Structure 1
């Protein structure tokens, strides 16, 4: 079981220059060996593998020293891009041939085994030096890799740690069904609701002003580059606010309940509705579900996904289908007289679907150990 830890780095001005030059070297290696692969296929009708190119990269020399394993990891990264390309070709998806990386599209490099060491409040990097590290929490397990990442004008260290075997699954005692929505971010089957903070919509006015100013700047000018950074900073703030909210909400859910049941939504298709796309992206359902999954996996708890078909239309009291549009926010059953909030009714149905599935009928269950859907029995 792997877990990642992300910490802020505070390099000096000189160290920032070295980090930027290291990124430029890695980007150059990526583009050069991507061109080699393309040319080998076009001219000789043969492909190059990772081992072939790793044997070549050690002969390259640059103005600044770069650790050998960092350069080798760039080749492995390129290999993963081609593996994903061939996988998409075989599965009939849009292939998306690996692209050359421009200056703003290559923002990280990795020490895959060694060359890094945490010394108190400092991070020692091979060929770079010792950089101030803000380690706001401890690291569990054994650190396997260290990735240095640039986000505009900020630098981060991301450590991947091996925690060993997954914890033993607990016997679920408390279960909850969750309906994700737009008016309320989530509605629980016990009636609780967590309102959507709508970070994007609150920052939309500021973002519009910055984007208008960007559109007036001459392309390729320094003024345009500076203004582009301001736009990116607004987006970064929205992203960080959304991450913080979903981290806290997923932690609340995992701490309180042993089994958490969501709808198995196809969010990619849902955002094709241009009337709802902005609101769906703003609440970030997929991010919340993913965070809840890995937090539950760490504690031996369960996150399960059920078929969302008719969960909003079905009466949770008697099972009668009560058709209603999205504008109707209250569920009123003409058969049993049940009247409650539409999202609360859906959340109860979601929990009931999982309960039925575990007693013999099919229930879409997310296997926490593998990340694949499995049938619950």
Structure 2
């Protein structure tokens, strides 16, 4: 099983200069690789393979000695990114979508480089990176497993992070404890409502910062292009966006950890967020809620904790009566479930969460659970 850890690193000024230099060289190799593939296809109608492009690197290094400042496998990984970009492009074309053609990276728009197999080593509170040296790392959690891949990333606010891909032992198959099962309905009024009746309020991080974001963006729009004032205004806007992102990230990971620690079985809706955000009136609120982030974080935490996460089809979970199964039509504004057949009256989202739990348990062969009968 593979896991990922993300830590903040604190490079020295010379190390920052070298990492910035590495990003710039990687950007040049990225653009040159993209140009080679584009040219070959236009002239011959054939696509250059990743291995053919890797074989061009020694020649490029001879022409540009500065390329030797970057670890060799890191440059190969840059070309692998191009290869993956084209694979995704052609796959989406085949599926009838309209994907954007892989684009060249302008200066400042390449923000990470990777050591795919070697060139790194953990040393207490430092990590050794080839061509850069020993960089101080803030290890806020213990690493369990063997490090297989390291990626160094620079944020828009010029903070530096390292992501470690770990190969760990597989956890045993999860065993469902019927006293620790939960169904979860996500929403906008409450971030989530659970089948036991509890709920988590929606923090609305973007909405709470929106006035501040408007203020700094308005200042940015008044600055002259290319001026030092504009560069400073851009940094301020980026800091606001990063603050929103960090709050959302922290909230999602703390909540997903609580869910995994408290429950052995978690049923969630399999939502199609892309289609949902097409609703002009709700798009901003849906994007702010970050339901997909919660689902992703809960799933991978459950894998290592021996818990089970199941995604169910959300169709009719809000309409179906959780007691008798009758479909009760509701408008989006109707927040209470009222069943004329069995007389059940309860919160709409609570009713949906119970249905989600039932469907989730049925998907793994468990028909009912006594603790959640009404």
CA shift for structure 1 position 360: 8.9
CA shift for structure 1 position 58: 2.2
Specify the alignment match of 1:327 in structure 2.
333
1:1-377 paired onto structure 2 within 5 Å: 1-59=1-59, 60=61, 61-63=64-66, 65-152=69-156, 153-173=158-178, 174-359=180-365
Contact 1:58 1:68 in 2 (8 A): no
SS, match of residue 80 in structure 1? helix
Count of residue correspondences: 361
CA deviation digits over 1:168-221, x for unaligned, max 9?
A: 322443221111011111100010101011111111111010111111122233
CA shift for structure 1 position 55: 0.9
> CA–CA distance in 1 between the matches of 2:108 and 2:346?
51
SS, match of residue 331 in structure 2? coil
> CA–CA distance in 2 between the matches of 1:166 and 1:94?
40
CA deviation digits over 1:9-36, x for unaligned, max 9?
A: 1112221111101100000000011101
CA shift for structure 1 position 105: 2.1
SS, match of residue 87 in structure 2? helix
SS, match of residue 124 in structure 1? strand
CA shift for structure 1 position 286: 0.7
SS, match of residue 147 in structure 1? strand
CA 131–354 in structure 1, closer or farther in 2 if over 3 Å, else same: closer
SS, match of residue 170 in structure 2? coil
> CA–CA distance in 1 between the matches of 2:242 and 2:312?
33
CA shift for structure 1 position 67: 1.2
SS, match of residue 144 in structure 1? strand
Moved more, 16-25 or 346-355: 346-355
CA deviation digits over 1:299-337, x for unaligned, max 9?
A: 222111112111111211212222221212111222222
Q: Which runs of 5+ in 2 are unaligned?
A: 368-374
Moved more, 63-72 or 258-267: 63-72
Contact 1:25 1:62 in 2 (8 A): no
Contact 2:185 2:268 in 1 (8 A): yes
> CA–CA distance in 2 between the matches of 1:156 and 1:357?
39
CA deviation digits over 1:102-137, x for unaligned, max 9?
A: 123210001111111122222221111222211111
Contact 2:92 2:99 in 1 (8 A): yes
> CA–CA distance in 2 between the matches of 1:49 and 1:220?
40
CA shift for structure 1 position 359: 4.3
TM-score by length of 2: 0.93
TM-score by length of 1: 0.92
CA shift for structure 1 position 164: 3.0
CA shift for structure 1 position 293: 0.7
Contact 1:7 1:136 in 2 (8 A): yes
CA shift for structure 1 position 65: 1.3
Contact 2:176 2:265 in 1 (8 A): no
Moved more, 28-37 or 10-19: 10-19
CA 167–58 in structure 1, closer or farther in 2 if over 3 Å, else same: farther
CA shift for structure 1 position 356: 3.7
Q: Which runs of 5+ in 1 are unaligned?
A: 362-377
CA shift for structure 1 position 69: 1.1
Contact 1:172 1:301 in 2 (8 A): no
SS, match of residue 148 in structure 2? strand
> CA–CA distance in 1 between the matches of 2:12 and 2:278?
45
